[in-house]
Structures are given as C-alpha cells and as structure tokens.
Amino acid sequence: MDFPVYIQTAMRILKEHGAEGYAVGGCVRDTLLGRPVNDYDLAVNVPPQKTERCFAGYKVIETGLKHGTVTVVIDKHNVEITSFRIDGGYTDARRPDSVAFTPSLEQDLCRRDFTVNAMACGQNGDIIDLFGGKDDLQNRLIRCVGDPDARFKEDALRILRALRFAAALDFTIEEKTAAALRANAAALTKISAERKFAELKKLLAGVSAAPILTQYKDVICVCIPQLADLPEAEYTAAAHTAGNLRDALLSFAALMRPLGPQTAEEVCRALKTDNRFRNTAVFLIEEQHTVYATKGQARRALGAFGADRCRLLLRFRQALGMEADALNDVIADPGNLPAKIADLRVTGADIAALGFTGKEIADELNRLLIRAAEGDLPNEKDPLLQAAVNDIKI
C-alpha cells in the first residue's frame, strides 16, 4: 500500500520517537478495493500525550484527546492519529462507558466494527489482517468482527453502519451478521438522531441503496417510523427511485415523497437534519408536480428558487419520470431576460414616482416581471415605465 507524502512523514516522525503508526480502517479497505481514499486515519501504539510530544514542531489540535485522537497538521493536511484503544463496557448501546489505551494493535483492531474495516497497514506497506478482512473484501461481504449479536448490543449504530457500507460498497451482509442486526434493530431508537442521520445519508447515496432499502425495510422503519405506514408496493417503488439517485438529499426526498411534504418535514426534524437539507427536501416534494408551460414562468421560478434548487428539481423530476418542460429549457440556457424583481431595470422608487403606493408598488413590479420574463416587454427603463403608466390607465 502506498501512502501520500504527508502520511509517510507522520509515520516517520512517530518512528523517530520510538512509536509505531499504522494506517487503519477505511483507507486500508478502500485502497485494497481500488477505490479513492476519503481520508487516512492513523493508529499509534502510544498514549495521546506522547503523540503530541512527537509532533512538537507542528500545529496540533486536541479536539478528540479524550478518545485518544490528536490531529496534526502536516503540509496543510489534518492527520488524525488515534492511540490504540480498548473500549470499556457498554451499558447504553451507544458509547463505551470508558476507553483505555493499549500498546496492542490486535486489541485496537478487534474493537472495530466489520472485518473489512479492521485491517491495518504499517510503514513498510504490509497489511495486518487478523479477522479475514481481505477474504471478505474479495467476497464482498460485511461481517462483524467477533460475535455479531454482542457487537450490535454494544453499539446499535453498527446496525445502520452495516447497511451503509453494504449500500456504498455494493456488498452483501453476511448471514449471521444480517440476522443479528435485524434481531437488534429496535435498539437503534437509543442512538442519537445526528449519528443515525450521518449514516443514513451515506446509505442513501450508495450505489446499491435500492436493494438495501428494500431488503432491510424493517431496520429503516426503526429509524423512520413514518415509512411503516406505507403500503409495501409504494415503499418498494420509492426505495427504487431513491436508490437510483446516488445523492443523499435527492434520494431522501424520493423516499419521503409518498408521505407528503408535511411528514417529510417531521422526519427531518426528528432526524435533526440541517435546515438546508430539510427545506430543500420539502421544496422538492412540494414542487415536483408543477408544470412550467412557458419560459417566463420557468424564468420566474428560477428567480424565486435559485439555480441550485431548480437544477435539483430537474434531476428529481427526471428520476420520477416526468416530462421535460420550459424549466429544462431555461436551466439549459437562462438567457438574459429578468428572472426576479431585482433584475428589472426599474425600481420600486421609479414606480412610486408614477403614483403607485403601498402594496400597489410590489404588485405592479410583479406584473412587469411576468411580461418581461416572458420576453413580451423589453427589460429597459422607458418601456417598463410606459407599461406601468398604461397599467394606471386600466
């Protein structure tokens, strides 16, 4: 396994101080799969205070110190270095009650969730694979390290993580792991909304989200109980559309669509999604059926919603099998006709000067926009003012 220079530097500095650093988890898995690596996590056989001393000349961020993580900035890269850990007992299916540092790589690897996530790679490039992770990668299997039932009882988030990795990597969940995760699914209610939502997003964006959402509907419904009310066929159809979108937000909106915008909003609040995610998902569900018959209407939608949302709406409508209309044309070529009142070459003050007052001003600007956006009226000061004067006459 080859490491980027900044990771080699981190490993070398640790070595110079008598410590041993290993790349662990996702970066080893993704490298062996030939996939792009998100980020390199390092594990080290010394406690965090010692890690900090190794990097005396570097910027060190202490945010994860309690859990043994020291972040070191090397060549502008944040490198997370976590001390080998044993997780103490679990009493709440959520977080270990305590963590203890250990000099044993084996102990650190056996606390990890799945065999494909429990491999390490030392400075010399050799892979340490104590639980058959390479074989499981070969066979495309998600399998717990150790007894799956015990592992899901320790931390119920792993249930959703199994689904997430299966969806993202297009893997199957090994039989015993699958049975244990179903049996323990109810414990997901103890997990914080934020942790669940982070995993759900990755699941929804995964290449095989559709089969995972369908096969593990029971587990998904523990996280989103509102979905349990849907008839089977409707759920399956929504899961299918969702799974083909490859984007967390669009996929979520597709899954929530049969529930309607109001319930979608409730679900977002329960999952504590960020506001942008919630508002956009609700927007997509509300606007999915609007047909834009003329370019003017489409242009005003563009002005009102913004280009980003309109582009998402197009992808959403396309996934739902809706026909292209003027919105597609305007997004492809917005031209320079006005899309919102601010684009008009007259202002509220110009309109007020003609004698309009109060709400009449905004109404008149809107009337002008409708015609100018359609291309019926030039977006130039004199014709716009003339049109407004004519409107007074009416």
Q: How far apart are CA 23 and CA 41, in angstroms?
A: 6
Tell whether residue 64 is a contact of Mg ion (CB under 5 A): no
Member of 1, 6, 17, 26 binding Mg ion (CB under 5 A): 26
Nearer to Mg ion, 168 or 369 (CB): 168
Q: Which is nearer to ligand ATP, 38 or 275 (CB)?
A: 38
With CB atoms as reference, the residue minimizing the distance to ligand ATP is 26
Tokens of 73: 């900035």
The entry of Mg ion, ligand ATP, none near residue 300 (CB within 5 to 8 angstroms by kind) is none
Q: Tokens representing 172? A: 């199957």
SS3 of 28-52: the string is HHHHHHCCCCCCCEEEECCCHHHHH
Nearest-angstrom CA–CA distance, 107 and 243: 37
Interface pick for ligand ATP out of 55, 105, 113, 160 (rule CB under 6 A): 113
Residue 67 has a CB neighbour count (10 Å cut-off) of 15
Residues 27-66 that bind ligand ATP (CB under 6 A): 38, 41
Q: Nearer Cβ to ligand ATP, position 25 or 303?
A: 25
Asked whether 385 and 368 are in contact (CB, 8 A), the reply is no
Work out what residue 117 binds among ligand ATP, Mg ion, none; the CB cut-off runs from 5 to 8 Å by kind: ligand ATP
| CA–CA dist 281, 286 (Å, integer) | 9
Contact between 155 and ligand ATP by CB under 6 A: the answer reads yes
CB of 31 to ligand ATP, least distance (A): 11
The CA-to-CA distance between both ends of the chain, in Å, stands at 78
Q: Is 117 a residue that touches ligand ATP (CB under 6 A)?
A: yes
Count of residues in contact with ligand ATP, rule CB under 6 A: 12
Question: Which one of Mg ion, ligand ATP, none interacts with residue 157, CB within 5 to 8 A by kind?
Answer: ligand ATP
- Taking the C-alpha atoms of residue 119 and residue 28, their distance in angstroms, rounded to an integer, is 7
Cβ atoms 326, 288 nearer than 8 A: no
Q: By CB under 6 A, name the binding residues for ligand ATP.
A: 25-26, 38, 41, 112-113, 117-118, 155, 157-158, 161
